[in-house]
Each structure stands twice: as C-alpha cells, then as structure tokens.
Amino acid sequence: MKKLLVLTMLLICCSCSLEPQPDQKLRREIFMQCLEKIPKGPETVKYNDWQEVINECGKQAYYISLRLSSPKSNLIQSPEGK
C-alpha cells in the first residue's frame, strides 16, 4: 500500500513538470516578426482593434515557439536532413 501511495505521489509530482514550455527567445523573434509584417496603424483609434492584433501576434508566437521547441517537432529540419 505504501508503494502505491509513493508511486502515485511521484506520478503527480512528475506530471506537473512535463508540460512543454515555449522557447522564449524564439517566441520573442516570432512576435517581433509578426509586428513588423502588420501595416502601420491609424493615428487615432476608435476601437481597440490594434490591441487585438497585438494579442493575436502574441498568441501565435507562443504556440509556434512551443511547437518549434518541442523535441518531437517535424517542423525543424537539421542540415543533415536536407
């Protein structure tokens, strides 16, 4: 019974650290590239559309950097694979 309890506790502790984390440097690069691609915004803003654009760049940068930094990712090809 003690072994089962210890095993359960270990699984709970280990499962928390298995969540993938984005590569922050890559995330920043992708975010900055996204902002460079959008057209110049209006001088006066009636609605908060630009905040939505910036938020979307941030979301996409997060998810792309998460996928690209994943060890199982097929999106990154090594020079040997070409």
Residue 74 has pLDDT above 60, yes or no: no
pTM: 0.54
- Nearest-CA neighbor of 28 among 69, 78, 75? 69
Q: Greater confidence, 5 or 13?
A: 5
Give, in order, the Cα–Cα distances in Å from 45 to each of 31, 38, 49, 51, 53: 22, 16, 8, 10, 13
pLDDT for 77? 43
pLDDT for 33? 93
Q: Which long-range contacts (CB under 8 A, 24 or more apart) does 27-33 make?
A: 27/61, 27/62, 27/64, 27/65, 28/61, 30/60, 30/61, 30/64, 30/65, 31/57, 31/58, 31/61
Q: Are 68 and 26 in contact (CB under 8 A)?
A: yes
Q: What is the pLDDT of residues 21-53, one digit of tens each?
A: 888 999 999 999 998 988 776 666 677 678 888
Residue 56 has pLDDT above 50, yes or no: yes
